Amino acid sequence: MMKTNYTMQLSLLVSLIFILCSFNQITSVFAAEENQEHDHNLMTYIVHVKKSENVASFQSEDLHSWYHSFLPQNFPHKHRMVFSYRHVASGFAVKLTPEEAKSLQEKDGILLARPERTLSLHTTHSPTFLGLKHGQGLWNDDNLGKGVIIGVIDSGIFPSHPSFNDEGMPPPPAKWKGHCEFNGTKICNNKLIGARSLVKSTIQEPPFENIFHGTHTAAEAAGRFIKDASVFGNAKGVAAGMAPNAHLAIYKVCNDKIECPESAILAAMDIAIEDGVDVLSLSLGLGSLPFFEDPIAIGAFAATKNGVFVSCSAGNSGPEYSTLSNEAPWILTVGASTIDRKIVASAKLGNGEEYEGETLFQPKDFPQQLFPLVYAGSLGYGNQTQNQSLCLPGSLKNIDLSGKVVLCDIGEDVSTFVKGQEVLNANGVAVILVNSESDGFSTFATAHVLPAVEVSYAAGLTIKDYINSTYNPTATLLFKGTVIGDSLAPSVVSFSSRGPSQQSPGILKPDIIGPGVNILAAWPVSIDNKTPPFAITSGTSMSCPHLSGIAALIKSSHPDWSPAAIKSAIMTTANTLNLGGIPILDQRLSPADVFATGAGHVNPVKANDPGLVYDIQPEDYVPYLCGLGYTDQEIELIAQWVVNCSNVKSIPEAQLNYPSFSILLGSDSQYYTRTLTNVGLANSTYRVELEVPLALGMSVNPSEITFNEVNEKVSYSVDFIPKTKESRGNNTYAQGSLTWVSDKHAVRIPISVIFM
């Protein structure tokens, strides 16, 4: 009885996983096109040209012919020109041989020609499936993002999903200039107002998605309310994105091989700006790059100049330090944290001890009896021990584990799903998957082909001790379903990338954390053909669109706020405590530092009414970029302005009017100013409260500020004064905060200090 039940669920899971994997075999559309060209030396180059005074007035045709004029006569433009850019760059993407690129680079008026790179999506764990209460981030506001357009740059969309219905939604605002490239009527609607594909192929294909990432991220940002989002009859609830009434514009930039070329990303940002989006959401990245070489930083600067808010994933390369993507200060960089819902199972040992963990696969009829327990790593088959401890494919071949519960270590390379398959092939009855040391206590609810539970590294050590200390170790698994109210939530998850920023250590990054673990949202297909199509995934790919949706909500209530003001509102109101009322923890269950949390966990309701904001105008970034030591030409690539740093009063990074401080402190004091803008009550008085970092003196002047008007600006100064080396102990960094407090508001910015 038990077996048939599994088999039904399992075959569904397996077929969907297979669908995901099999895309790797599909021939790239790019490859197909290159074959046609009969030249394997061709690569797509991003070419930046010196800006012409007249560009602003150019029609598209003028722009194209101006760009074409840089290329040799008889150049096969039609086949080789990939994209012309207007907003994000003065330049174009073109297919060239290395020789052609070299001679182009030497031409007058060419700033830079470099081969493009491919970005990757920021989802880590295999998508998994189960319906659950959403419950997170529903914000009962009248507007729910009304009138705001969110552009999602991702892998496309599955447009007929119920999350994108337009019941009761008004038409897009008059400024909207975008298109819908789906064939046929009634595909785009007042919810999904635009969809374009920037994936170049021989035939122009509509922006449907095949890898399921874009549908999920779009729904997280702005999915409609969907009742009874449940699968297998499990937990029921309402699913919704953060801004259910915002409009969505989709820009597909990733092909079916999950390759997202930077020429397409630049094109998508260029078109989205032209189309009139208000918010851009990008759950992808390239790692840390100088801003003038980072397509997202370049595109986001143009977006910011046009008043468009840009939210990006921080990356999934944690928990090590300095592992961020998308570090530019004009971007909101979003890390990932848990929500208070877990899908729980536990490993119960023969000695009565129980260790809680997570799994999505929750068989109702797993026998409550103890089975013999073995650690795959002590089966002892010579040179296979290492591979067996990880239950790698093939490592348990010819071994009979019938009737046994098997303990496997989780390594980096292979998904836990595949490890479970290996144990099932060896006839194991269940698997206990033990986190690697770096994953600590971060567990994930994922799909499995047999009864399974993922437990913490610490639990794994204890279970291994038990196995060693007992002649006949035994265990069973207990399945407990969905549990809401984890008081440790939010906690920073192991994979969430950490600061400090490599490109600009004087700006604290990430900026914020938001929900990114076991997130339920739209999925193109139903898992059992009966219940609505939803899936659970984890990644900073998931936390980024949450913040995009929240930015849309704020933009809807404050249409005149700049991108920097919206970012400030989100950061200065963030929560620093978890639901249990203690400082937010990380994957080790230690207090998370500011390089993991940034300002803290987003609090949408408070972010809508911050009292004060730290505003930044686009031109304020130029003295900052000069201060970073970039050349005039490098700044021109980013800003699209002719810049001469000798005539600009450059500033140190920490002097940018950013809603946080990241100080690299030697033996000298440092002095900075910040400017507050009053967006709360006209007459309000704030006084400063400091949490002074260890081994540091701080003074703030003035310590009390009275505002008499809305939008009034007042500046204050901060001194950071080092104390003796001895007073730091062995600490290499310290953290604190600076908060302006009134009767109604607390406007907090975090401070990190790295001792040099």
Segment contacting ligand NAG (CB under 6 A): 67-75, 440-448, 460-468, 485-493? 460-468
Min dist. Cβ of residue 203 to ligand NAG (A): 7
Q: Which of 74, 185, 730, 732 binds ligand NAG (CB under 6 A)?
A: 730
Residue 103 DSSP one-character state: H
CB < 8 Å & 24+ apart, contacts of 378-381: 378/467
Strand partners, 152: 250, 281
Residue 589 DSSP one-character state: S
- Please state, as a whole number, how many other Cβ atoms lie within 10 Å of the Cβ of residue 537: 27
Min dist. Cβ of residue 398 to ligand NAG (A): 12
Min dist. Cβ of residue 635 to ligand NAG (A): 12
Q: Which of 351, 682, 719, 744 binds ligand NAG (CB under 6 A)?
A: 682
496 vs 335: CA distance, rounded Å: 6
Q: Which of 590, 673, 683, 717 binds ligand NAG (CB under 6 A)?
A: 683
Give the residue with the Cβ less far from ligand NAG, 550 or 676: 676
Residue 57 DSSP one-character state: G
Dihedral sign computed on CA atoms, order 73, 79, 84, 88: negative
In sequence order, what are the residues at sequence separation of 6 or more whose Cβ sits closer than 8 angstroms to the Cβ of residue 507? Answer: 327, 329, 501, 653, 654, 656, 658, 660, 662
Min dist. Cβ of residue 728 to ligand NAG (A): 9
Instruction: Determine contact, residues 102/307, Cβ cutoff 8 Å.
Output: no
Site string for ligand NAG, 218-257 (x = CB under 6 A): ----------------------------------------
So which residues are the catalytic ones?
Answer: 154, 213, 541
185 scored as a contact of ligand NAG (CB under 6 A): no
Min dist. Cβ of residue 646 to ligand NAG (A): 4
Give the residue with the Cβ less far from ligand NAG, 27 or 683: 683
Instruction: Determine contact, residues 342/308, Cβ cutoff 8 Å.
Output: no
Structure tokens at 4: 């048939």
- For residue 109, which phi and psi values (nearest 5 degrees)? 85, -5
210 scored as a contact of ligand NAG (CB under 6 A): no
Min dist. Cβ of residue 727 to ligand NAG (A): 11
Give the residue with the Cβ less far from ligand NAG, 644 or 669: 644
Task: Count the site residues for ligand NAG by CB under 6 A.
Answer: 18
Provide the 3-class DSSP secondary structure of residue 627: helix
Structure tokens at 522: 């739209």
Give the residue with the Cβ less far from ligand NAG, 538 or 735: 735
Structure tokens at 111: 């700033």
Min dist. Cβ of residue 387 to ligand NAG (A): 4
- Which 621-650 residues touch ligand NAG, going by CB under 6 A? 644, 646-647
Give the residue with the Cβ less far from ligand NAG, 8 or 642: 642
Segment contacting ligand NAG (CB under 6 A): 216-224, 464-472, 565-573, 720-728? 464-472
Give the chain's end-to-end CA distance (angstroms, integer): 65
- Please state, as a whole number, how many other Cβ atoms lie within 10 Å of the Cβ of residue 116: 18
DSSP 543-558: HHHHHHHHHHHHHHH-
Give the residue with the Cβ less far from ligand NAG, 384 or 587: 384
658 vs 652: CA distance, rounded Å: 12
210 vs 103: CA distance, rounded Å: 39
Q: Which of 24, 183, 185, 724 binds ligand NAG (CB under 6 A)?
A: 183
11 scored as a contact of ligand NAG (CB under 6 A): no
CA dihedral angle for residue 741, residue 747, residue 749, residue 750, rounded to 10 degrees = 70
Give the residue with the Cβ less far from ligand NAG, 382 or 629: 382
- Which 333-392 residues touch ligand NAG, going by CB under 6 A? 382-384, 387, 392
282 vs 265: CA distance, rounded Å: 9
Q: Which of 135, 147, 173, 206 binds ligand NAG (CB under 6 A)?
A: 206
Structure tokens at 334: 């979003």
468 scored as a contact of ligand NAG (CB under 6 A): yes
464 scored as a contact of ligand NAG (CB under 6 A): yes
Give the residue with the Cβ less far from ligand NAG, 54 or 708: 708
Backbone region of residue 552 per phi and psi (left: phi > 0; alpha: psi in -120 to 50; beta: other values) = alpha
Give the residue with the Cβ less far from ligand NAG, 85 or 457: 457
Residue 128 DSSP one-character state: B
Min dist. Cβ of residue 462 to ligand NAG (A): 9
Provide the 3-class DSSP secondary structure of residue 177: coil
Min dist. Cβ of residue 164 to ligand NAG (A): 20
Residues forming contacts to ligand NAG in the complex (CB under 6 A) are 183, 206, 382-384, 387, 392, 464-465, 468, 644, 646-647, 682-683, 708, 729-730
